[in-house]
Amino acid sequence: MGEATERYAVVTGANKGIGLEIVRQLASAGIKVVLTARNEERGLQALQTLQASGLSHLVLFHQLDVADATSAASLAHFIKSKFGKLDILAISEDDGRKGITQTYELAKECLQINYYGAKITIESLMPLLQLSDSPRIVNVSSFMGQLESFTKGSWARGVFSDVDNLSEEKVDEILKEFLRDFQEGSFESKGWPRYPSAYIVSKAAMNAYTRILAKKYPSFCINSVCPGYVKTQLTANTGFLTAEEGAASPVRLALLPNGSPSGLFYSQSDVASF
């Protein structure tokens, strides 16, 4: 592949599970991939595993804490100096387990990683994606983030459903209200999802952000996807799909041709309702 046609990708939360498999599949398709992980030691171990499988020329590692703007800026500088542009950004889960345990501090951290961390990373890398002739953003989400998880008639469901007026400010308002109600112990009575509430709200926010971004950047292809119930550490290996099978749908979206639909939520390979 000539230098002019070389494509570059970043995958977050990629030291294990679906994220690691997304890296493997993108690299196997000939794309140069930067594997990122919050824990440098685990990230380097994942890199060594991929290098041992014959992908050493296509995979690099860079540490990334998605919730840290300085860390995201460091990654952006690395990509700019190394490649000059970015074609694909896949936001995989970093540690969704923090949203499973129902405490206020872990709920707050879950939103910080799954939603705000994704935003920080996307915003830091957006200038490099704008230099691509085929920019792709794939947000790994969950069927739990669909609006049917919220009580019918609830305020948050109404705001999320109002697509024409959806904005980042309104999503921020929803998350602040959720944390306030969570802390006060009134989140169930106000129509918020029950269990795992923070995880569900974070994924609903990610789906909403996907729509907002797609509208803001019409030349991009930006979608979110539920990879299915995958056997990973997050599911305590109780899923039905392998990590390889789970990664197939995010990778397919990352490789869509120009002119493909944007701003959608997929359940594996099928378009689903938000």
- Does the active-site annotation cover 266? no
3-state secondary structure of 255: coil
Average pLDDT estimate for 162-184: 96
The count of other CB atoms within 10 Å of the CB of residue 163 is: 12
Q: What is the pLDDT of residues 114-150, one digit of tens each?
A: 999 999 999 999 999 999 999 999 999 999 899 999 9
- List domains and CATH numbers for the chain: 7-272 (3.40.50.720)
Helix (H) or strand (E) holding 34: strand 32-37
Work out the angle between the directed axes of helices 118-129 and 69-82 (0-180°, nearest 10): 20
Strand 221-226 with 136-140, pairing: parallel
Residue tagged active-site, from 8, 115, 199, 266 = 199
Average pLDDT estimate for 67-90: 97
Residue with tokens 């129902």: 102
Give me the pLDDT at residue 97, please. 52
3-state secondary structure of 83: coil
Confidence of residue 95 (pLDDT cuts 50, 70, 90): low
Q: Is the pLDDT of residue 163 over 80?
A: yes
